[in-house]
């Protein structure tokens, strides 16, 4: 496969904090329309790897290519890059003093991607899609956790990103609210959104991932179809992990 076929390509990526090498020599690539789920034990570097991709953590070494070109290091280059790569966090990160619609329209208007009127229209279209149009003028504190996370996802979609990064999007939710978020993610996968998902929802990953990546101690130990990784791996660490979580 030629390099041009990748949206992201990562070469020998490392990220160090005092006393710990959180990401250790990672090579990774993702093709357009691919949904890659990153799994592994807590503390294995999954979230740090994702944050490096979106430049929220500065890699210690290695290279991140986006459409075969290095991601620029200037503030302007990173801002432009993030307009194409949306991120959904564990804790929603909605602005509590803004209405739901204001949360969704802020970035498209501020970056000049959409006019205020177009952003408004887009926000209502997205809210209709997830059945929350009646919450447009509500504030985040008035919503359930599942509703907040779906708002966080459509806020990222309002920028019309090419890639979405999800950092354990259901880990802060009550169990009964997880399904509504996973349902929206499943729709996005079917529509061909390029997605990298760090998750502990192994059953969902097995059902929806085109490819599953297993990380441990900052390294990618394996990358394969869910079927092969979960059922056919000969790696003792991987077998032990799935025996405990499935």
Residue 246 has what pLDDT?
82
Residues facing 11 on adjacent strands: 63
**What domains sit in the chain, N to C, each tagged with a CATH number?**
1-84+162-177+190-246 (3.40.50.300), 91-161 (no CATH)
User: What confidence tens digit (pLDDT) does each residue in 55-78 have?
Assistant: 999 999 999 999 999 998 888 899
User: What confidence tens digit (pLDDT) does each residue in 199-210 have?
Assistant: 999 999 999 999
User: What confidence tens digit (pLDDT) does each residue in 90-145 have?
Assistant: 999 999 999 999 999 999 999 999 999 999 999 999 999 999 999 999 999 999 99
Residue 1 has what pLDDT?
40
User: What confidence tens digit (pLDDT) does each residue in 5-49 have?
Assistant: 899 999 999 999 999 999 999 999 999 999 999 999 999 999 999
User: What confidence tens digit (pLDDT) does each residue in 148-200 have?
Assistant: 999 999 999 999 999 999 999 999 899 889 999 999 999 999 999 999 999 99
In this model, does residue 2 exceed pLDDT 50? no
Supply 125's token pair.
């279209």
């Amino acid at each position: 496969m030629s390099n041009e076929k990748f949206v992201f390509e990562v070469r020998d990526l490392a990220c160090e904090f005092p006393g710990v090498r959180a990401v250790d020599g990672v090579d990774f690539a993702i093709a357009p329309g691919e949904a890659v789920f990153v799994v592994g034990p807590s503390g294995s570097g999954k979230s740090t790897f994702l944050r490096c991709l979106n430049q929220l953590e500065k890699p210690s070494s290695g290279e991140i290519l986006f459409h075969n070109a290095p991601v620029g290091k200037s503030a302007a280059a990173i801002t432009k890059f993030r307009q194409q790569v949306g991120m959904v966090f564990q804790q929603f990160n909605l602005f509590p003093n803004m209405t739901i619609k204001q949360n969704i329209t802020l970035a498209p208007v501020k970056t000049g991607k959409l006019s205020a009127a177009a952003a408004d229209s887009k926000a209502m279209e997205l809210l209709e899609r997830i059945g929350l149009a009646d919450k447009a003028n509500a504030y985040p504190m008035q919503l359930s956790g599942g509703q907040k996370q779906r708002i966080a996802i459509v806020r990222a979609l309002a920028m019309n990103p090419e890639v979405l990064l999800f950092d354990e999007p259901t880990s802060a939710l009550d169990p009964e609210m997880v399904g509504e978020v996973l349902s929206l993610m499943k729709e996005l996968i079917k529509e061909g959104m390029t997605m990298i998902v760090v998750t502990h929802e192994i059953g969902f990953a097995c059902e929806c991932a085109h490819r599953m990546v297993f990380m441990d101690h900052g390294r990618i130990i394996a990358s394969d179809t869910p079927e092969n990784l979960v059922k056919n791996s000969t790696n003792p660490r991987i077998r032990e992990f799935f025996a405990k979580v499935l």
